[in-house]
Amino acid sequence: MIALDRKKAPEFHQVNNIKFLKPKSISLKNDIPLHTLSGGTQKIVKIDFIFNAGLWYQNQPLIAHATNALIKEGSKNYTAYEIADGIDQYGAFLQSDVSFDQASVTLYTLNKHLKKVLPFFKEVICSPLFSEKEFNIYKNNALEKFKVNLEKVSFVARSSFMNAIFGENNPYGRSPQISDYENLSLKEIQQFHANFYNLSNCEIVISGNVTPAIITTIDDFFGQENLGKNNTSNPNNISQSTNNNKIWIEKKGALQSAIRIGRQLPNKLHEDYFGLQIFNTILGGYFGSRLMKNIREDKGFTYGIGSGITSLQNGGYFFISTEVGSDVTNQALTEIYKEIELLQKEEVSLDELNLVKNYLLGQILKSCDGPFNMASLFEGVHFYGLNYDFYNNYIQAIKEITPKTLLALGVKYFNKSDLTEVVVGKV
């Protein structure tokens, strides 16, 4: 037997055969678009109702979140308790969420209980009540949570950063204040619901073990409903960009400073988007990134540092995020800028680039694993008017990108003078 050479890595293959689960798209009797991603081994489904009712559509902070939370708290025919109990009774989970552009209401259930749970879910979707009583409970408890969040340096940094890069008048940027909770009005929540939660402003995505019977059931429950008036006209004006801000916020006694550095960037419809994602990965997008290697693994300044690019329907942004020891805040900032500048000055080596390429392809493979992950990928392109070609193009872009292109992107988008810096901690 030949002795094992433990220094030598085993043979490996670059990922090159990624299978995307195809969506099937139909319409309910009343024309609500329904998309299904069927797969997996368990008899379970996830049902997403997605509305264009995210932060972008609100004229004041908190309205989108409050509406999304309160639709679960009582309806025409059931109290808040009855709805919660009706869903809990069958082991199902009701979740609702607000993102920058959209709001969703999601039901997770075993297939065998779907028909028993749907009457309650339908009440949430079609006839929420928005009672004064539930509104007050929500308002008080949300304010308490907000006050706790204000004590976290990371929360304050994130909120100030979004405000700084998008500006106070852009709904992506306006961050809530305590007074916004006090001024929250039930009337406006009801109005927001009427405008943005009607079924004509909605698409349904079902993933998991989606059988024809389930589709029929959904059509029976929702296909007869009146669609309501589509009123998605966007009330908001596009961004003002405010660059090169330096914002330092004091938090007395803080042991760590939260740092956010970044800027607005184009969204996934832009030709530079894939390159920017790859650039970001090298800089701070994975455990072996430049920032992690330097600021955590060499200097020990932080438990973690990362960066990301978020695509929005009406914009996008790049951010670096970390919490570092108070005493090393300035050194950490110097090192962060040093790493950014390095990517503007020196081409990344082929070794490093190949590693990142293989890593990203592996991540894409993982992100396609199972119907629930595929539903996220589908939603990630569908609402931009794109399809899976986007991911195939991304794979192609990863394979083809060169150190030169990355350097050029660094020069184009990552000048220090274009970056906003927010630090919250002991100043």
Partner 1 sequence: MINFEKFTLKNGLKVIVHQDKSTPIVAFNMLYDVGARDEDKNKTGFAHLFEHLMFGGSINIPNFDEPLQKVGGDNNAFTSNDITNYYITVPKDNIETAFWLESDRMLSLAFTEKSLAVQRDVVIEEFKQNYLNQPYGDVWLLLRPLAYQKHPYQWPTIGKEIAHIENATMKDVKAFFYQHYLPNNAILAVAGDVETKHIQSLTEKWFGDIPAGKVPLRNLLKEPQQTEERRLKVERDVPANAIYKAYKMCSKTHQDFHATDLLSDILSLGKSSRLHSSLIKEQKLFSEINAYVMGSYDDGLLVISGNLSENIDFETAEKSIIQELEKVKSEMVSKTELTKVKNKIESTHEFSETSVLNKAMNLAFAELLGDANDVNLEGEKYQQVTPEDILRIANEILNETNCSTLIYAKSNNK
Site residues (CB under 8 A) for partner 1, limited to 294-313? 296-303
CB nearer to partner 1: give 166 or 394: 394
Our finding on whether 13 is near partner 1 (CB under 8 A) is yes
Residue 343 in contact with residue 279, Cβ under 8 Å? yes
Determine if 40 is a binding residue for partner 1 (CB under 8 A). yes
Q: Which residues of 151-163 are buried (b: 16+ CB within 10 A; e: fewer)?
A: eebbbbbbbbbbb
Query: Looking up tokens 């680039």, which residue turns up?
Result: 353
Q: How far apart are CA 56 and CA 58, in angstroms?
A: 6
Shortest spacing between CB 415 and partner 1, in angstroms: 29
The verdict on 76 binding partner 1 (CB under 8 A) reads no
Least Å from the CB of residue 52 to partner 1 = 27
Q: Which of 151, 220, 250, 327 binds partner 1 (CB under 8 A)?
A: 151
Among 101, 123, 323, 379, binds partner 1 (CB under 8 A): 323
Q: Does 346 bind partner 1 (CB under 8 A)?
A: no
Tell me the per-residue interface mask from 241 to 280 with partner 1, x by CB under 8 A, - otherwise. ------------xxxx------------------------
The phi and psi torsions of 270 (rounded to 5 degrees) equal -85, 145
Binding to partner 1 in span 183-202, by CB under 8 A: none
* Residue from the set 247, 365, 397, 407 that interacts with partner 1 by CB under 8 A: 365
Query: Within a 10 A sphere around the Cβ of 410, how many other Cβ atoms?
Result: 24
Nearest to 25 by CA among 206, 166, 208: 206
Q: Which is nearer to partner 1, 91 or 235 (CB)?
A: 91
- Only one of the segments 98-106, 157-165, 261-269, 348-356 lies at the binding site for partner 1 (rule: CB under 8 A); that segment is 348-356
89 lies in the binding site for partner 1 (CB under 8 A): yes
CB of 201 to partner 1, least distance (A): 26
Under the binding rule (CB under 8 A), the answer on residue 179 touching partner 1 is no
Helix spans in 197-269 (H)? 212-222
182 vs 271 by CB, closer to partner 1: 182
Count of residues touching partner 1 (by CB under 8 A): 77
Q: How many residues does the chain have?
A: 427
| Binding flag, residue 20, partner 1 (CB under 8 A) | no
**Which residue among 91, 194, 246, 330 contacts partner 1 (CB under 8 A)?**
91
Contact status: 366 vs partner 1 (CB under 8 A): yes
3 state SS of 214: helix
Check residue 330 for interaction with partner 1 (CB under 8 A).
no
132 binds partner 1 (CB under 8 A): no
Output 14 or 334, the one with its CB closest to partner 1.
Answer: 14
Helix (H) or strand (E) holding 274: helix 273-280
Residue 335 CB, nearest distance to partner 1 (Å)?
14
Closest distance of CB 9 from partner 1, Å: 5
Tell whether residue 2 is a contact of partner 1 (CB under 8 A). no
Containing 207, the helix (H) or strand (E) segment is strand 202-208
Torsion, Cα of 379, 384, 390, 391 (10° steps): -30
Select the residue interacting with partner 1 from 27, 59, 95, 140 (CB under 8 A). 140
Q: Residue 3 or residue 417: which is nearer to partner 1 going by CB?
A: 3
* Residue among 238, 243, 248, 287 that touches partner 1 (CB under 8 A): 287
Does position 396 interact with partner 1 (CB under 8 A)? The reply is no
Long-range contacts from 225-230, C-beta under 8 angstroms, 24+ separation = 225/30, 225/126, 225/199, 226/30, 226/199, 227/30, 227/31, 227/32, 227/198, 227/199, 227/200, 228/194, 228/198, 228/199, 228/200, 228/201, 229/198, 229/200, 230/198, 230/200, 230/201
Contact 257, 324 (CB under 8 A): yes
Q: Decide whether 133 or 412 has the Cβ nearer to partner 1.
A: 133
The reply on whether position 286 binds partner 1 by CB under 8 A is yes
**Rg of the chain in Å (alpha carbons):** 24
Q: Both tokens of residue 235?
A: 């009330």
- With a CB cutoff of 8 Å and minimum separation 6, the contacts of 205 are 34, 35, 36, 37, 47, 48, 50, 375, 378, 379
Say how many CA atoms lie within 13 Å of 401 toward its Cβ.
Answer: 33
Site residues for partner 1, 204-223, by CB under 8 A, read none
Q: Which window, 39-47, 167-175, 270-278, 387-395, contacts partner 1 (CB under 8 A)? A: 39-47
Near partner 1 by CB under 8 A: residue from 36, 52, 75, 109: 109
Judged by phi (left if over 0) then psi (alpha if -120 to 50, else beta), residue 211 lies in beta
